[in-house]
Structure 1
Amino acid sequence: MVTAHTSESSEVRDGIIAVGQRIMAAKGFSAVGINEILTAAGVPKGSFYYYFGSKDAFGQAMLTAYFEQYHTEMDRTLSRADRSNAQRLLDYFEGWREGQSLQDCQGKCLAVKLGAEVADLSETMRNAMKLGTSGIVSRLAQAIAAGQTDRSLPEVTERGELAESLYQLWLGASVLAKVARTPQPFDAAMATTRRLLQLPA
């Protein structure tokens, strides 16, 4: 049985995580202090340590929550009944471009922003990042396999390798788009994606 106190406690914790995602997606992990998050979330400092214990523990919880939501949205995109599996894959990458192109990504670009930084800062956050990104690559590989089943994609032997290459391609495009402040890297990534999937331009 879920009590009102438990529900309220979960809402406070989720609220701190959501605020942390938005702020850190813009500034990075190291540049953001706990007080900034708590002020924006409107909760006392004691609440932070009650739920997380440390900034690293918060980072791990934040990444876990981020990837859970990301995977849910990805599953929704890759299971649309009105689209072939090839179209679903292209929809996913179009959604990536739209989410990463926003000036204020509202936490949607957390993996891109924090990937290299947290891998060097914290083993627990690195593992959370590894688990989350592995889930993305796995879903891409499953979508490629499904595309071969419905014949919207041609046969390839190394589905996992192709899925990983696609993910790496789009991660790189996201970084270059931020550096150049132009969506052109996403256009190039989409053209390469179509080529790798053997789809018409």
Structure 2
Amino acid sequence: MNAIAPITDVRQHILDVAHPLLLRKGFTGVGLAEVLAAAKVPKGSFYHYFGSKEVFGEAVLEAYFTEYLGRTDTLLTGGPGTAAQRLIAYFDDWLDSQTGDEAQSRCLVVKLGAEVCDLSESMRSALARGTRGITDRLAGCIEAGRADGSIGSMPQGQDAQGVAIALYQRWLGASLLAKITRDRSSLDAAMRDTRQQLGLSSDH
């Protein structure tokens, strides 16, 4: 029988184990004992790395955004096609992640955003930094689309950053509504609105 490999990064292991728990139950719904039991680590290890549940929550969000922004960079700057095609690929990925069966792929911002902003200033700040990173990347791709001709002119009075923020807000709202109704129609509508706002035809 093969021996179980030792955990080489206990801090990251705790974060990895906690992520799906938080997606299912929220921040206040997950107790420290449940995290420790799932991670199979003693309480002392938790407090060695995090100090408090609030610090732990901030670390979970930072780890989530590090991974998410890396995937966003791959889709928006490393993918094939025009900037418009890469932008649509990003939102296709978002739609798939919100409608699939894998709970771990769901958006942690949708799950925790409203809950933790009133509980913790440090967690609110982590959410603000992470979401700004997303909208900055979307804006960069929109600007690239204008440069390569795959995206038309912006709506009157809006620059690439403003359009990026509006699109992100639209998709966050659609994701929350899809969660409430257990129906993907709001996400499909968000995709149609996105194409229209960027002046894209259905074949882009």
TM-score, normalising length: structure 2: 0.91
For the residues of structure 2 that align with 1:44 and 1:109, how far apart are their CA atoms? 29
Which residue number in structure 1 is paired with residue 138 of structure 2?
A: 140
Q: What SS does the corresponding residue of 2:103 show, helix, strand or coil?
A: coil
For the Cα contact (< 8 Å) 2:83–2:150, is it kept in 1?
A: yes
RMSD: 1.4
Which residue number in structure 1 is paired with residue 194 of structure 2?
A: 193
Which residue number in structure 2 is paired with residue 90 of structure 1?
A: 88
Which residue number in structure 2 is paired with residue 125 of structure 1?
A: 123
For the residues of structure 1 that align with 2:177 and 2:102, how far apart are their CA atoms? 17
For the residues of structure 2 that align with 1:124 and 1:76, how far apart are their CA atoms? 28
For the Cα contact (< 8 Å) 1:170–1:186, is it kept in 2?
A: yes
Which residue number in structure 2 is paired with residue 54 of structure 1?
A: 52
Shift of 1:80: 3.2
Change (3 A) 1:16 1:53: same
1:118-159 CA-partner distances (Å, limit 9, x unpaired): 101100000000000000000000000000111100132511
Q: Which amino acid aligns with 2:193?
A: T
Equivalent residues, number: 194
For the Cα contact (< 8 Å) 2:79–2:86, is it kept in 1?
A: no
For the Cα contact (< 8 Å) 2:98–2:105, is it kept in 1?
A: no
1:20-44 CA-partner distances (Å, limit 9, x unpaired): 1110011100010011011111111
Which residue number in structure 1 is paired with residue 12 of structure 2?
A: 14
Shift of 1:107: 5.2
Q: Does 1:31 align with 2:32?
A: no
1:46-86 CA-partner distances (Å, limit 9, x unpaired): 11000000000000011011001100000000123521100
Which residue number in structure 2 is paired with residue 72 of structure 1?
A: 70
Change (3 A) 1:107 1:38: farther
Which residue number in structure 1 is paired with residue 183 of structure 2?
A: 182
For the Cα contact (< 8 Å) 1:25–1:107, is it kept in 2?
A: no
Runs of 4+ aligned structure 1 residues displaced above 3 Å come to: none
1:151-182 CA-partner distances (Å, limit 9, x unpaired): 10013251111000000000000001011111
Shift of 1:9: 8.0
For the Cα contact (< 8 Å) 2:80–2:86, is it kept in 1?
A: no
Q: Which runs of 5+ in 2 are unaligned?
A: 1-5
Q: Which runs of 5+ in 1 are unaligned?
A: 1-7
For the residues of structure 2 that align with 1:145 and 1:12, how far apart are their CA atoms? 41
For the Cα contact (< 8 Å) 1:84–1:152, is it kept in 2?
A: yes
Change (3 A) 1:80 1:47: same
